Amino acid sequence: MFVEYGTHDAVGLAALVSAGYVSAGELLDAALARVEALNPALNAVVNLREGVARGAIAAGLPEGPLKGVPFLLKDLGAEARDFPTHSGSRLMADSVWSYDSEMFLRLKSCGLVPFGRTCSPEFGVGPVTEAQVYGGPTRNPWNLSHTSGGSSGGAGAAVAAGIVPAAHGSDGGGSVRIPASACGLVGFKPTRARLPDGPDSGEGWAGMAVDGFLTRSLRDTAALLDAVAGPDVGAPYFAPPMRGTYVQALARTPGPLRVRFTTNTLTGAPIHADCAEAVMGTARLLDSLGHHVEERDFGGGPGVEAMMLAWTKIVACGTALTVRGKLAGAALNPALLEPATLAALRLAETVSGADYLECIEEIHAFGRRMAHVFDDCDVLLTATMGAPPAAIGQYAPHYDDFIEYRTGPTGVFDYSPFTVAFNASGQPCVSLPLHWNSAGLPVGVHLATAFGEDARLMALCGQIEQAAPWGGVQRGLIERLLVPL
């Protein structure tokens, strides 16, 4: 067994493979051993395809920058013939794709070795991963009584636990950044249309959903984004060209930037003290690095409540479209869906074509309002979440009213009040693991820049990682979990 596996990120492991120090097969052995040891407690990895992975290695891997590194796909999207999916739902269990998505093809071309999928809530809706198709919740490796987040919650748990150094995710309302915050990882959401979404999908959730990755290091994030960036044939949108690559941006030192921060939500509501403490600590760090840091009062905010209602209706309609496509005219067995999903279907039935277009207009109007937030600043700093990782069951999808689930007094908006704003605006943003609370739970910090300014954001993140490295804390968890091995 390659005992050093958990101490390296993906770039580091690829370098060892290239040098002949370890083989791709040995890395796969290590990853599978960790699945066997850790997954019973975490419930993070599903649909293992060891034979597919070993066949890819035997056939010869592409000479890409991440050659030989074991990798996991989210159990939602990243369509691939050899990797069936549940999409987090009993209705979709073991669905087989007839094609390989452009995202999957690009990931394979950089030499990665996919060998399974990671758990997601049903159809990716929700900030926790507690879907009945997996037989139980996905748990946080930092504390098994807490959620690993959602919707890329399985990916977050697998990466934090050291099963893989990086994993595929997707983000339509924070679904990469939420598990990054909950699991002490990096979760970068690029500018809308920076990454491919074809060939089967032109856009997800009216352009708000994008792919991404959960990693333990920024250099892994940069390498993965560079490996897949760029529109695919026929893409309906095109992101502004970047100044160089993500890897190049990571190596640059950003000039002095105008940073604005808030320890409240964008509506002015208070957040948990642990999250506010994380923001204040980061603000002090950025000030010490020479940036011009000021607190911002959003007052009534940029209209987040109206945007959130529009987002909720759009997602309900998208969920209904997915279910209708799977049923193909057959009758629905309600027992195959979560209560919150059934509630989304009921909501979608009340949304007319004109209503849907009105929601799209509200999302675009919100994007313009958020663009003006950056008229007098370069970076907006907030917490990633409104509270530390929630207890298992607190936000399980057992709601009978979808609007109540998303925005009601016991719903998920108070828990996740920040991330969805940047899906609506399409702006690049990131959750960084810069704080752990007194209970030892990760609390992410969120940074966002103007539309198209991915390179600026990545450069700033690199400066932060050098000044306040988090790798030692992550490795400490991996070492504790793998003592039995």
Question: Hey, which residues are catalytic here?
Answer: 74, 151, 175
Q: Give the 3-state secondary structure of residue 212.
A: strand
Give the H/E segment covering residue 373: helix 353-373
- Backbone torsions φ then ψ of 283, nearest 5 degrees: -60, -40
Query: What token pair was written down for 355?
Result: 């209503």
CB neighbours of 435 closer than 8 A, spacing ≥ 6? 274, 277, 278, 281, 282, 442, 443, 444, 445
Is residue 370 within a helix (H) or strand (E), and if so which, with residue range?
helix 353-373
Render 15-46 in DSSP notation, one character per residue. HHHHTTSS-HHHHHHHHHHHHHHHHHHH--EE
d(CA 175, CA 205): 13
Task: Output the CA torsion 420→383→436→150 (10° steps).
Answer: -10
Give one word for 258, left, alpha or beta, with left for phi > 0 and alpha for psi -120 to 50. Answer: beta
CB-based contacts of 211, cutoff 8 Å, min separation 6: 77, 78, 103, 168, 169, 170, 171, 195, 196, 197, 228
- What's the angle, vertex CA 415, arms to CA 343 and CA 309, rounded to 5? 45
Q: Which two tokens stand for residue 357?
A: 């277009």
Cβ proximity of 214 and 183 under 8 Å: yes
Token digits of residue 29: 């052995």
What is the spatial distance between Cα 23 and Cα 67, in angstroms, rounded to a whole number? Answer: 10
**CA 57 to CA 41: how far, in whole Å?**
29
